[in-house]
Amino acid sequence: MRSPARELDNRPEDMLTRENDLSTALKWIRQEMVHMKKQDMSLLKQFIQLQDSIVQLRYIYDINGSCSDISSLDGSTYSLNEQIKSPKLPRFLLNGNSCMNKPSISLPNSPRTTRCKWRTNEIS
């Protein structure tokens, strides 16, 4: 004996309703995936900007800083907004504009620079 629920499931109207529901659900999933991809790109851009800022600050500290400067906030007179005068600096672009349009700042042979390989667990 067949149950009434199975008979309802096989009717053409029910099949159309199910197809429409599935189509609507798939459309929503696609929209969410596009939205998540945009968020992912935004977060990646922020991460790259933060990484550039950290490298810049390390470079500025290496040029002008010392351990005694870190231990005392009162002893620090250097402002990040001031223009740095250094013969080594012109090869680096140290403005806060879009990091996507400039070459990546990296310090060659620097043990302080962290190198990451995406999509793996390796961090060197």
Cβ-contact 73, 19 below 8 angstroms:
no
Extract the tokens encoding 100. Answer: 């996507």
**Residue 123 phi, psi dihedral angles, 5° rounding:** -135, 125
**pLDDT score at 12:** 81
| Per-residue model confidence (pLDDT) at position 122 | 52
User: Which residues touch 76 (CB under 8 Å, ≥6 apart)?
Assistant: 69
So what's the pLDDT on residue 5? 53
Q: What is the pLDDT of residue 47?
A: 97
Q: pLDDT (tens digit, 0 to 9) for every residue of the chain, 124 residues total?
A: 455 555 556 788 888 999 999 999 999 999 999 999 999 999 999 999 999 999 999 999 888 865 554 555 555 555 555 555 555 554 444 444 444 444 445 444 545 555 555 555 555 4
pLDDT at 13: 86
